[in-house]
Amino acid sequence: MTTPVSVSRITASLLALGLAMPAAAGELTIYTALEEEELAAYTEAAQKALPDVELNVLRLSTGKLGARILAEADNPQADLIWGWAVTAMMDPRILEMMSSYEAAGVDVLPDRFRDPENRWFAPIGYMGAFCVNKPRLEEKGLPMPTSWADLAQEGFKNEVLMPDPNSSGTGYLHVNAVLQSMGAEAGWAQLEAVDPNMAQYTSSGSKPCKSARIGEYTVGISLAFTAMQSIQEGYPLAMVFPEGGVGYELEANGILSSTDNAGDAQKFLDWTMSDEAIALYGEYKALVTVPGVGQSEAAAAAGLPEDIGTVLADVDFDASAKSQVETKKEWRERFGR
Amino acid sequence: MTDKTLPRGTSGAPPARFDGDKALALVCVGVPLIGLVLFFLYPMAIVFLRSITTVDGEYGLSNYAEVLGSSGFWRATRHSMIMGGATTLLSVVLGFIIAHGLYRCAFRGKRLIRAVIVLPLLAPSLVQALGLIFLLGRNGVVNQLFGVEMEIYGFWGLLIANTLYALPQAVMIIGAALVLLDARTYEAAEVMGASPMRQFRDLTLPAARFGILNAAFVVFIITITDFGNAAVIGGDYSVLATEIYSQVIGQRNFNMGAVVGIMLLLPTVAAYYIERRAMRLQGRHPVNAQRFVPRFTPARDLPMAGLNLLICLAVLSVIAIVFYASFVRLWPYNMSLTLKHYDITLAGGYSSLWITIWISLAAAAGGTFLVFLLAVGLRRAPAMLAQPLQVLAAMPAAVPGMVLGLAYILTFNSTATPLYLLYGTAALIGIVNFYHYHTQAFLTVMTGFRQLPSALEEAAGSLGAGLGRVAVNIIAPFVAPMLISVFFFLFMRSMVTLSAVVFLTTPDLSVAAVTIMRLDDAGLTSQAAAFSCCVMAVVAAALLGMKAILAYLGRNAGTGSDG
């Protein structure tokens, strides 16, 4: 039955298989909440640095990603989590799913930017900001707000938007920063003072800025990323960091212990701390926790100070993660609409 | 074609039934039933289990106690019920006006009205949200033109948005009742000297009642479960769907969200039973239906045409302004025109568009077929089986897409069953799209079937035609207009729906709605609008193409199809 032709065909296909094998060595499924533009740049560079590993990246917003990871918890689909809010990562149910790995080069990070058990580390982060619509501010004859206290002025009645901390991580980022930087009592009093001026508490973190940029409202308490992107596009926005410090969030990386490709996953994590990766962070990020990284052009153009530390609130992420549930609950009781 | 199969003397012929016929009836009910059980009931059972899983991982009712004890839940419930009621009232009245105009009045431009009225179905939710804000927002066109500052965010904005979305579905279902109303009854009424008003009150309204009630049911349910509109235009008007979002996405607490999800089923089941009860009071429809061709009656048709036009203009303006804005450099600050927003490179660019079309065609074809089978089967099924099955088939709309999507992860991402093979495939996305819209599809076909003269079917049966032949030769052509609208409805929704699908895409498999969301997430709202316009254009082209094919087939078969 076996003819010479089929034998040679089998040999050929075996050969082809043999040749194909090393190329298909590894595949990684990566879940991320990084922003599209930086994500495209990082992924391209990482893929070049790891040509033998096929990088399959799924991008979802922080909240949706969390819901998905937890729903998949019994049979996790991802090998890695990349660039995801550390406040979400520190959820005990998530930490339980992560494995411990000390990525090469991670030791340059200050302790507060990495898990003591090496389940995550965060070389980058993002910050909150006020998005102020300049034409609308002028039209209403209002002064440029520079602090949370300014937003409590009479003139800002129904002109301020902010995300609901119960729906949005960005909302929690701001509330937590106010509470931690002012102290609980003064913090709640400050939020109480601004509450009557809040036109809406939105469910999305970027929506306040997007509403402010098209002139629907004067101030959107939102993200610096959205503010900078809007300013770059030409919207007449001012990005303001409130005096006393603005909230920020770290973007953490880690490996799921369920992965069947730990070797490649570790290589990928090593890459996220490589010089190449760090240089890219410097291009795209306002907030890089790796010491000694210069300011990005976009950040400078948008008016970010060179030493970012001067505008950041003093945030204790461990305490923030622990008090999360209580804080959200109390916020809801005070301000839920 | 109906005339050929009309009954002659049928008195003596005994009902010639074969076992094959019974088997076929069983298949008709069985196949859609298996689908409903696997892809709706089973995932919802898992949602229910989650809703009674406490923080300690044990089963108990503490989640329910917590939800029922919070004032936020009751406020949201009150808001949802008021909003559901108001939207239902408005949508059904407007929907009836449109459907009555389309099928019972004589004026020109019906094709245009039909095209405009479905626009909100083929528009991604972003389009409607942006359109309303650009038009009626605080810095919107209307406020700029008239120098007023109207406040759209809140109850009124949400009511408008919900009505826009619900209206085409109300028209589809009420239309299914009106299009098949028997012409002869009206001729008889005319001969007997009944005034048009009297005809409307005594003939049209009672006959449309089934459709109106079904439409009201659907509108109420989709309104109380919709999250998208509430998030963008609802302001602080919290509703149950925003409660679920806050629990599931904001606090990563699926079990608590599941509680609200399960509670949403209660008003749905209640509403459905009330509706069925009301229906029982109404008798079956006259025997030999003949398509009604309205004659021009100025007193009726001119105001109807005016109202139709007005509603269509409102719908059109919301979509049109987004279409225009997608060419504007920087809305509303730099109104010069540009094509730059159509140059989309991020978030996978245009690549997701094509796979979405295939998924949607499959979901629409498979879905229409299953719903038709179910409706045929239900006619033969014993009441004991038929009634619970009807409730089950009408339930899926009560599940918010977000809950359904996550339920699919919990169900199909488990290696315990062979269903795991579906996880991460395009097939599962098609399936979730169909079951997400099962209620609307099912009730439209049922409304159409209601008008099917049972005598026709019985006669055919007594002449020896088996169920298969009856279904293919008699029922299918009769309800063809409904099947076509259901097919188009499922196709359009599958192209743009996001809430469930977003949880089922994979790195290799994304759909158009997810691309739109990602562009908007990235702050590129204009690009998201541009991509949405491309989706709408592709859907519109596909619809026109399919209509052309249908018209061609219809002509060849000797029957006109104007679905």
Does the pLDDT of residue A4 top 60, yes or no? no
Give B562 or A212, the one with higher predicted confidence. Answer: A212
Q: Cα angle at A87 between A85 and A91, to 5 degrees? A: 115
In sequence order, which residues have a C-beta less than 8 Å from that of residue A181 and are 6 or more positions away? A187, A244, A245, A313, A314, A315
Does the pLDDT of residue A154 top 90, yes or no? yes
Cβ pair A214:B332 closer than 8 A? yes
- Comparing CA positions, the residue from B405, B348, B353 lying closest to residue B511 is B353
Pull the structure tokens for residue A258.
Answer: 């369920």
- Name the band, by pLDDT with cuts 50, 70 and 90, for residue B556: low
Is B521 part of the contact surface with chain A (CB cutoff 8 Å)?
yes
What SS3 state is found at B323?
A: helix
| Average pLDDT of span A125-134 | 96
What is the sign, positive or negative, of the torsion defined by CA atoms of B247, B253, B254, B257? negative
Q: Chain B neighbours among A 69-88 (CB < 8 Å)? A: 70-72, 74-75, 77, 88
Asked if residue A259 and residue A240 are part of one domain, the reply reads: no
| Residues of chain A found within 8 Å of residue B502, distances taken between Cβ atoms | 60, 64
Q: Chain B neighbours among A 179-218 (CB < 8 Å)? A: 199-204, 206-207, 209-210, 214-217
| Average pLDDT of span B4-9 | 40
| Residues of chain A found within 8 Å of residue B238, distances taken between Cβ atoms | 336-337
| Residues of chain A found within 8 Å of residue B409, distances taken between Cβ atoms | 68, 71-72
| Residues of chain A found within 8 Å of residue B150, distances taken between Cβ atoms | none
Is A307 part of the contact surface with chain B (CB cutoff 8 Å)?
no
* DSSP symbol at A66: H
Does the pLDDT of residue B3 top 50, yes or no? no
Pull the structure tokens for residue B212.
Answer: 């109106």
Whether the bond into A116 is cis, omega within 30 of 0: no
Asked if residue A232 and residue A88 are part of one domain, the reply reads: no
B334-337/A98-99 β-pairing: unpaired
Instruction: Residue count of chain A, please give it.
Output: 337
Cβ pair A68:B250 closer than 8 A? no
Asked if residue A117 and residue A236 are part of one domain, the reply reads: no
Q: Chain A neighbours among B 422-451 (CB < 8 Å)? A: 424
E strand or H helix that includes residue A229: helix A224-233
Q: Give me the residue from B250, B331, B505 closest to A167, CB to CB.
A: B250
For residue B109, report the phi and psi dihedrals to the nearest 5 degrees: 85, 15
Q: What is the span of the domain harbouring residue A207?
A: 126-248+309-335
**What ipTM was assigned to the predicted interfaces of this complex?**
0.86
Measure B137 CA to nearest chain A CA, in Å.
7
Is B409 part of the contact surface with chain A (CB cutoff 8 Å)?
yes
In sequence order, which residues have a C-beta less than 8 Å from that of residue A40 and are 6 or more positions away? B346
What SS3 state is found at B558?
A: coil
CB-side exposure of B75: number of CA atoms within 13 Å? 12
Q: Give me the residue from A35, A68, A216 closest to B522, CB to CB.
A: A35
Asked if residue A192 and residue A327 are part of one domain, the reply reads: yes
Find the closest chain A residue to B227 by CA distance. Answer: A203
Q: Does A260 fall in a domain?
A: yes
Task: Tell me if A267 sits within 8 A of A50, measured CB to CB.
Answer: yes
| In the block, residue with structure tokens 């503010």 | A227
Q: Does A137 fall in a domain?
A: yes
At residue B115, what is the residue type? A
Asked if residue A207 and residue A142 are part of one domain, the reply reads: yes
Tell me, what's the pLDDT at A42? Answer: 96
Asked if residue A176 and residue A153 are part of one domain, the reply reads: yes
What SS3 state is found at B55?
A: coil
Cβ pair A337:B236 closer than 8 A? yes
Does the pLDDT of residue B505 top 80, yes or no? yes
Task: Tell me if B124 sits within 8 A of B320, measured CB to CB.
Answer: no
Cβ pair B250:A203 closer than 8 A? yes
Measure A113 CA to nearest chain B CA, in Å.
23
Q: Does A220 fall in a domain?
A: yes
Asked if residue A328 and residue A213 are part of one domain, the reply reads: yes
Task: Tell me if A85 sits within 8 A of A172, measured CB to CB.
Answer: no
CATH assignment at residue A81? 3.40.190.10
Q: Does A120 fall in a domain?
A: yes
Residue B322 CA to residue A157 CA, distance in Å, equals 29
| Average pLDDT of span B27-41 | 93
Does the pLDDT of residue B29 top 60, yes or no? yes
Q: Does A11 fall in a domain?
A: no
Task: Tell me if B407 sits within 8 A of B44, measured CB to CB.
Answer: yes
Is A61 part of the contact surface with chain B (CB cutoff 8 Å)?
yes
Q: Chain B neighbours among A 24-53 (CB < 8 Å)? A: 29-30, 35-37, 40
- Name the band, by pLDDT with cuts 50, 70 and 90, for residue A2: very low
Q: How many CB atoms lie within 10 A of CB B386?
A: 14
List, for residues A174-202, the tens digit of each pLDDT value.
999 999 999 999 999 999 999 999 999 99
Asked if residue A138 and residue A257 are part of one domain, the reply reads: no
Measure A91 CA to nearest chain B CA, in Å.
9
Domain count, chain A: 2
Measure A9 CA to nearest chain B CA, in Å.
32
Residue B342 CA to residue B526 CA, distance in Å, equals 9
Residue B173 CA to residue B169 CA, distance in Å, equals 6
| Average pLDDT of span A17-46 | 78
What are the structural domains of chain B? 18-557 (1.10.3720.10)
List, for residues B154-164, the tens digit of each pLDDT value.
999 999 999 99
Q: The pTM is what?
A: 0.87
| Residues of chain A found within 8 Å of residue B424, distances taken between Cβ atoms | 77
List, for residues B167-224, the tens digit of each pLDDT value.
999 998 898 888 766 677 777 888 888 887 888 888 788 878 888 988 998 899 999 8
Asked if residue A62 and residue A50 are part of one domain, the reply reads: yes
| Average pLDDT of span A60-73 | 93
Cβ pair B334:A207 closer than 8 A? no
Tell me, what's the pLDDT at B12? Answer: 42
Q: Does A138 fall in a domain?
A: yes
Cβ pair B246:A63 closer than 8 A? no
Asked if residue A317 and residue A169 are part of one domain, the reply reads: yes
Mean pLDDT for all residues in chain B: 85
Residue B520 CA to residue B522 CA, distance in Å, equals 5
Cβ pair B522:A217 closer than 8 A? no
Asked if residue A261 and residue A138 are part of one domain, the reply reads: no
Tell me, what's the pLDDT at B187? Answer: 78
Q: Does A1 fall in a domain?
A: no
Residue B309 CA to residue B315 CA, distance in Å, equals 10
Measure A265 CA to nearest chain B CA, in Å.
16
Measure B409 CA to nearest chain A CA, in Å.
6
Lowest mean pLDDT among B8-12, B13-17, B284-288, B348-352: B8-12
Mean pLDDT for all residues in chain A: 89
Tell me, what's the pLDDT at A248? Answer: 94
Does the pLDDT of residue B153 top 50, yes or no? yes
Asked if residue A141 and residue A171 are part of one domain, the reply reads: yes
Q: Give me the residue from B248, B503, B523 closest to A226, CB to CB.
A: B523
At residue A176, what is the residue type? N
| In the block, residue with structure tokens 């003397």 | B9
Pull the structure tokens for residue B211.
Answer: 């459709």
Does the pLDDT of residue A333 top 60, yes or no? yes
| Residues of chain B found within 8 Å of residue A93, distances taken between Cβ atoms | 252
| Residues of chain A found within 8 Å of residue B332, distances taken between Cβ atoms | 214-215
Does the pLDDT of residue B300 top 70, yes or no? yes
Task: Tell me if B121 sits within 8 A of B493, measured CB to CB.
Answer: yes
Packing angle, helices B71-104 and B155-178, rounded to 10: 40
| Residues of chain A found within 8 Å of residue B248, distances taken between Cβ atoms | 67
Q: Give me the residue from A36, A66, A75 closest to B518, CB to CB.
A: A36
Tell me, what's the pLDDT at B504? Answer: 92
**Of A37-41, A116-120, B114-118, where does the model show the most confidence?**
A116-120
A248-256/A121-133 β-pairing: antiparallel
Testing the interface with A: which of B50, B78, B138 to mutate, by most A Cβ within 10 A? B138
List, for residues B96-139, the tens digit of each pLDDT value.
999 988 888 888 888 888 889 989 988 888 898 899 999 999 88
Cβ pair B409:A226 closer than 8 A? no
